[in-house]
Amino acid sequence: MFGFGKKKVSACKYGINTVGLSISMATTFVDAWNSKRHKYEIEPLDRNNDKLFKFFAHYNLMMNSSKTISKLENPQDQELFRGLTLLMYLNFSKDEGVIPSNLMDLNFNQLKDEASKIMAGYLVYIQEEKNKREHAMGEMISYFVNEMLITNPSAKLSEFVNELISIIAPIHDESWAAVKNIKEIPVMDEEAIDYWMRSK
């Protein structure tokens, strides 16, 4: 289904697009936060915030787990791609200087555990009717802000979250739609396996 009419490329090359987009979305989130926080009297958010880094590791994992993004049908290939792109997220973040200094020694397995904890918390959060939103990205932003960054809910915070969602969700949709439309499909070839073995 996903492979018809698609050009096969190394999962490493394909992952550059998806992981790069996840890291870019973290920057977009920070920019939106800091541009709107003043009128809600909310503290600024630093790009190297450790919770931001961990949350977008979870975001990266979720997006690369989607079959419409990875275009992989084989469960084993999908699992390998998930792991590869999480590892790439860690390495690219270090290369680009957007990993918090206190997490510089974080390894792949530790990051995987952190992302899994966030996923578990997120799945519990969205089970509550009051936390459900029309847009999945809206639910993720709401969870991140309310459960990880600011744990004192208020009317101002709710308005702030809604404004963040209105800015970020369309960018999320447009950006990932471009990935979905790429006429390529990743393969776990020798290059990808070598990257995985050398970097892990």
Rounded distance, CA 60 to CA 88, Å?
Answer: 10
Could you report the per-residue pLDDT of 37-94, keeping only the tens digit for each? 999 999 999 999 999 999 999 999 999 999 999 998 889 889 999 999 999 999 999 9
Domain annotation covers residue 2: no
Query: Is the predicted pLDDT of residue 199 greater than 80, yes or no?
Result: no
Give the DSSP per-residue string, 172-192: HHHHHHHHHT-SEEEE--HHH
C-alpha dihedral (171, 167, 118, 106), degrees to nearest 10 = 70
Report residue 80 as tokens.
């390998």
Domain annotation covers residue 1: no
Nearest to residue 61, comparing CAs of 73, 71, 49, 69? Answer: 69
CA distances to 46, 73, 76 from 41, in Å: 16, 47, 47
Domain annotation covers residue 104: yes
Domain annotation covers residue 78: yes
Q: Note down the domain range covering 110.
A: 7-199
Could you report the per-residue pLDDT of 149-197, keeping only the tens digit for each? 987 778 899 999 999 999 999 999 999 999 999 889 999 899 998 888 8
Domain annotation covers residue 182: yes
Nearest to residue 34, comparing CAs of 25, 45, 26, 50? Answer: 45
Domain count, the chain: 1
Rounded distance, CA 173 to CA 40, Å?
Answer: 26
pLDDT number for residue 1: 47
Check: pTM over 0.85? Answer yes or no.
yes
